[in-house]
Structure 1
Amino acid sequence: MATAKQNFYKWHRILGLTALIPVMMWTLSGLSHPFMSNWFRPVIALEVYKPVPAKTKPALSVQQVLAQNNISSLINFGQVSFNNDTYYQVLSTDSVYNYYSANTGKILAHGDKLYATYLARYFTQDSTSKIKSISLQKTFDGHYQPINHLLPVWKVAFDRPDGMDVYIETGQSRMGTFNNNTRKAMLTVFEQLHTWDFLAAIGGNQFRNVVMLLVVVAMLFSLLSGLTIYGLFWKKFKTATQNRRADNRKDTRFVHRFHRQLGLIVSFVMLTFVISGAFHLIVKLHNDGPAPKVYAQHINSKDLTFSNLALPIADSLVKNINVVKFNDSTYYQLSDIKKNVSYFNTLTGAALINGDMQYAGYLSGFYHTGAAQVKGKTTISQIRQFDNEYGFINKRLPVQKVNYPNGENWYIETTTSQLATKVAGIDRAEGLSFIFLHKYFGMSWAGKNARDIVSMLAALGVLMVSLFGFAAFIKNK
């Protein structure tokens, strides 16, 4: 029995020392997260673009403009108004946006860059600061992370003391994110200390996730072995304390005692962090596979015979216009300011009943190809607000939720023909465990500030236990 107890001590020390540096990295970066995401988060004047309707109806239809510029095929088009003119925003077959005046048909040189600049100034409400640089970003990086989802985007850097960068997706006239100097520094720290991007740079994401999972497992066994030791020796610890007090001796092992007592207090908190973190990494490894399919379409300009200028929706209500092709037909896709999406045949102008649901079902079938076939009826419904399953992290709204009989939910952003995310049983369980056990969303009822303070106290408690444990190890040397 004595040997078993000594072995528990030995392995507890080994596991604790193994996890010490990672725990310090995770808890310190966890302590910084509320400052980055809440208290020191930069402020921008406007976060949502509300287009101003053109004062007059465009003189030319999109079909006329395409014919004038000898464009026979395209991927998509939109209609935007800025700098006192209205333009057809044409996504060419080379995946480049070109802008043609809807009144003259002439191309606007560097149109996409100019529109990105216009939107960046709109969101910041800054019409005076110089633009330091503007570049098209097709990959994620440390300052524009995968959590932002949208690509490609224009990175518009303002020449201002706060170093404001705004990321613009021109195709949907929306902002990916924005960073000032403080947030950029915090993102760099968080990326290295919490998500361990340096490991991804060395061996890729799978290597990083495996290493992090091994460390989390070491933390779990360190926690369990510590609790076991306390259970095996608690009578001995109690007797030693009573004898010391009876003999009025100095407490020379107060570091060990604080480590044990504080460890017992925060053991549940540490368990929630470890379990949710491990589950998160396991699901990441489980979902690590080939890149998702990319949906592509080609529109023949001759199919746009019904004029887009004759569509039966007032210009003042239209937020965006696109063109989509499915089920052997081509449709104008109109999004209005109330988040309704309507479809009109480009040959006849006839409205497609429940068009957005039909298109979502079509796209879901495209993205579902290769997945296990599910028997039974699917249901489709529009999602206009984020919730616990489809959270803010997904960025895209509105989306159509395609619910399969097996419980899987596929979220489709029809205005970009993109799969926003899919949630299966394990994804749903992991998502809930992460937001409630790791990010403390169960405290949301008390407000974001209270939730952040509680999560910081929890992280601080884990950090102090680790430091007291290391101090006890040094003292034993």
Structure 2
Amino acid sequence: MSLKNRSARWSNSKHRWLALVGGISLLVWGLSGLTHIAMVMFGPQQAQFMPPAAEVEFTDARPISETLAANGIAQAVAVKTVPSPDGKALWQVTEEPMAERRYFAPSDGREITGGDRTQAEFIARHFLATDREVLSVSLQTEFDADYPWVNRLLPVWKVEFAGDDRLTAYVHTETSSLAAVNNSTKEALQTAFRVFHTWEWVPQGMDWLRVVVIGLMVASLLALAVTGIAMLVTVRRKKRAPGAKGWHRMAGYVLALPLIMFSASGIYHLVQSALVPPASQLRMGEPVNVASGAWPVERDWAALSQGRDITSVALVEGGAGEPLYRIGLKPAPGSMGGGEHDHDGGEKADGMAGHDHASMMASEAEAAPVTDDEIREARFTGIRPDGPAIYLDAATGEVVEEGDRDLALAVARRFSGASDGTVARMELVTRFSHEYDFRNKRLPVWRVDYGEPVNATLFVDTGAGVLVDRVADWEKPERWVFGMIHKWNFLFPLGRLGLNVTVAGFVIALIALMAILGLRMDLAHRLRGRRPKAGEAQPLPGAEQPAE
């Protein structure tokens, strides 16, 4: 018997043997995978993309250093201005990462009672553009089934609105952002995805069993695709077989490769997730010594703000541990969009030391997204809402020569524990990608690549001195495979909507033409009970038997 005939018989027998398990697996993971696409395409959507604006006006205001001292605050993780319902800026103080934020009025330094809860409701109403009654507001400090770890941000306020759809917003007040939004439809789809696609119902103590069972079932899909391709190559037909056999074979030419892509990348992701359970890498910085910020920025506010549209002020820690005022400026007109990265990092802003983020954006201007589709696309690709920043020494008021790049290096140094000599590369990330995806929510961030002994990439937010994400070098290939091969992000030029429609179309085709037709053929074969006698070769389905 020729090698071609032996290969045809072997692949045919294995393909039939795998049909039942593989067909069921394809139905389970195909249908549950569609629920994730449905969540993205049809889930609840925020009505506003940009955060609320605030007028930062400190003329004749009480110095923040006096306000902090009067309230016994010598150190804080973060001190920054945030918008308030009346359109004015408030001082927001974070003493502990998981504690409620405190709020103070700049004009007289009075503390806003229950300010964090009020702020959460204000931000939720802004992003969702709703005047519904609020049923409950609660602070959440842990991830759960309805707000899983992929959302990254904690703590968040869970704001539940009245209505049959159970609209719920998760608000991160530290960044004035809508971390997630749910309703009854999304909760149902999310539950189906967890139960059938990721099997999160398996107890943690038996996670090994989940990995083994899912691995074997998804491996059967991979084996089905490989043996199916072998049959397409080795078994030739003079004409198309009738009925389900013919359609199944024709679909194989188109859908075998997508099936291999989904299954192989799924196994890779499953194994790596078992080795290193996924978790948020977000870390806030160490408390800043705000007591040493003796120079009152409020005193020179008139001169500082003249000719500048200031959108935010924050107390951050400099490279040597000294407190700095970070003065955030409004982006230049038409500069909200942007390219992928900035590699130089040595510009000046308004004649003061800093990093001019806006200038590099002029070539790819984008207007603020308005429609649902535009907002979905903006959240997926990333549109940065901020502009350049300048730095002033909080103790002396002097302009600080270091800019965002220097501050990013200092933040990365604190979290990595490595010297600057181990840094292989630095760049400003202004767009989401497979390496730094939209789940991180923050833009822009600095990417710092470390060589030995760290062998990892850190993404840091200089606006808050925060480590946003940390990716070890050995984890990067899996991220690329999962993003490009499993989620098909190589189709990013089509946009978020086009990508999801294309992936959904292929998944539906796999289910209808491969799983359903394949299972139908397998069931028919079993019902006919046609099994070869001992020593008798099994005929190929719908084809002439290979010649000896």
CA-CA distance at 1:471 after TM superposition:
1.9
| Distance in 1, Cα, partners of 2:74 & 2:58 | 27
| Distance in 1, Cα, partners of 2:198 & 2:65 | 49
> Taking structure 1 as reference, are residues 432 and 301 closer, same or farther at Cα in structure 2, changes over 3 Å only?
closer
| Distance in 2, Cα, partners of 1:293 & 1:442 | 27
User: 2:132 matched to 1:129?
Assistant: yes
Partner SS, residue 167 of structure 1: strand
| Distance in 2, Cα, partners of 1:96 & 1:220 | 49
Partner SS, residue 53 of structure 1: coil
Partner SS, residue 135 of structure 1: strand
| Distance in 2, Cα, partners of 1:316 & 1:463 | 55
User: 2:141 matched to 1:92?
Assistant: no
User: 2:317 matched to 1:324?
Assistant: yes
| Distance in 1, Cα, partners of 2:165 & 2:17 | 45
Q: Is the 8 A contact 2:153 2:282 kept in 1?
A: no
Q: Is the 8 A contact 2:80 2:92 kept in 1?
A: yes
| Distance in 2, Cα, partners of 1:122 & 1:430 | 37
Instruction: Kindly report which structure 2 residues correspond to 1:367-382, keeping only aligned pairs within 5 A, or say none.
Output: 367-369=415-417, 378-382=424-428
CA-CA distance at 1:131 after TM superposition:
0.6
User: 2:467 matched to 1:474?
Assistant: no
User: 2:442 matched to 1:396?
Assistant: yes
Partner SS, residue 166 of structure 2: coil
Q: Which residue in 2 is equivalent to 1:116?
A: 120
CA-CA distance at 1:170 after TM superposition:
0.8
TM-score by length of 2: 0.74
- Higher mean C-alpha deviation, range 84-93 or range 265-274: 84-93
Instruction: Kindly report which structure 2 residues correspond to 1:354-373, keeping only aligned pairs within 5 A, or say none.
Output: 354-369=402-417
| Distance in 2, Cα, partners of 1:70 & 1:408 | 39
| Distance in 2, Cα, partners of 1:153 & 1:445 | 33
Partner SS, residue 168 of structure 1: strand
Q: Which residue in 2 is equivalent to 1:44?
A: 46
> Taking structure 1 as reference, are residues 52 and 207 closer, same or farther at Cα in structure 2, changes over 3 Å only?
farther
| Distance in 2, Cα, partners of 1:202 & 1:322 | 41
Q: Is the 8 A contact 2:152 2:282 kept in 1?
A: no
Q: Which residue in 2 is equivalent to 1:152?
A: 155
Instruction: Kindly report which structure 2 residues correspond to 1:24-423, keeping only aligned pairs within 5 A, or say none.
Output: 24-38=27-41, 40-54=42-56, 57=59, 59-84=61-86, 86-93=89-96, 95-126=99-130, 128-199=131-202, 201-203=203-205, 208-209=210-211, 211-232=213-234, 234-235=235-236, 238=237, 254-285=243-274, 287-288=276-277, 292=281, 294-309=283-298, 310=300, 313-314=304-305, 316-324=309-317, 326-338=319-331, 339-369=387-417, 378-404=424-450, 409-423=457-471
1:252-293 Cα offsets, whole Å, 9 max, x none, are: xx4444434433431112112223323333443454489858
1:333 corresponds to which letter in structure 2?
R
- Higher mean C-alpha deviation, range 155-164 or range 79-88: 79-88
| Distance in 1, Cα, partners of 2:113 & 2:330 | 29
Q: Is the 8 A contact 2:313 2:325 kept in 1?
A: no
2:229 corresponds to which letter in structure 1?
L
> Taking structure 1 as reference, are residues 307 and 205 closer, same or farther at Cα in structure 2, changes over 3 Å only?
farther
| Distance in 2, Cα, partners of 1:471 & 1:203 | 38
> Taking structure 1 as reference, are residues 375 and 181 closer, same or farther at Cα in structure 2, changes over 3 Å only?
same
Partner SS, residue 143 of structure 1: coil
> Taking structure 1 as reference, are residues 433 and 328 closer, same or farther at Cα in structure 2, changes over 3 Å only?
closer
1:312-347 Cα offsets, whole Å, 9 max, x none, are: 642841234233254232222333333323332221
Q: Is the 8 A contact 1:155 1:168 kept in 2?
A: yes
| Distance in 2, Cα, partners of 1:313 & 1:183 | 47
> Taking structure 1 as reference, are residues 414 and 16 closer, same or farther at Cα in structure 2, changes over 3 Å only?
farther
Q: Is the 8 A contact 2:139 2:157 kept in 1?
A: yes
Q: Is the 8 A contact 2:91 2:104 kept in 1?
A: yes
The one of 441, 462, 465 equivalent to 2:510 is 462
User: 2:497 matched to 1:452?
Assistant: no
CA-CA distance at 1:176 after TM superposition:
0.9
1:15 corresponds to which letter in structure 2?
L
| Distance in 2, Cα, partners of 1:175 & 1:470 | 44
1:87 corresponds to which letter in structure 2?
L
| Distance in 2, Cα, partners of 1:23 & 1:337 | 50
> Taking structure 1 as reference, are residues 58 and 470 closer, same or farther at Cα in structure 2, changes over 3 Å only?
farther
1:112 corresponds to which letter in structure 2?
D
Percent of aligned pairs with the same amino acid: 24
Q: Is the 8 A contact 1:36 1:183 kept in 2?
A: yes
| Distance in 1, Cα, partners of 2:292 & 2:420 | 35
Q: Is the 8 A contact 2:445 2:460 kept in 1?
A: yes
Q: Is the 8 A contact 2:25 2:221 kept in 1?
A: no
Q: Is the 8 A contact 1:283 1:426 kept in 2?
A: no
Partner SS, residue 308 of structure 1: coil
Give the structure with the higher percent helix: 1
TM-score by length of 1: 0.83
| Distance in 1, Cα, partners of 2:147 & 2:60 | 36
Extract unaligned runs of 5+ from structure 2. 332-386, 527-548
CA-CA distance at 1:204 after TM superposition:
7.0
> Taking structure 1 as reference, are residues 419 and 56 closer, same or farther at Cα in structure 2, changes over 3 Å only?
closer
Partner SS, residue 138 of structure 2: strand
CA-CA distance at 1:172 after TM superposition:
1.6
Q: Is the 8 A contact 1:48 1:175 kept in 2?
A: no
The one of 8, 17, 29 equivalent to 2:20 is 17
1:144-189 Cα offsets, whole Å, 9 max, x none, are: 2323221111111111344321211111211212223322222222
Q: What do you get for the CA RMSD once the two structures are aligned?
A: 3.4
CA-CA distance at 1:296 after TM superposition:
4.0
1:73-111 Cα offsets, whole Å, 9 max, x none, are: 333222234244653222225843222232333322211
CA-CA distance at 1:118 after TM superposition:
1.2
2:294 corresponds to which letter in structure 1?
T
> Taking structure 1 as reference, are residues 354 and 381 closer, same or farther at Cα in structure 2, changes over 3 Å only?
farther
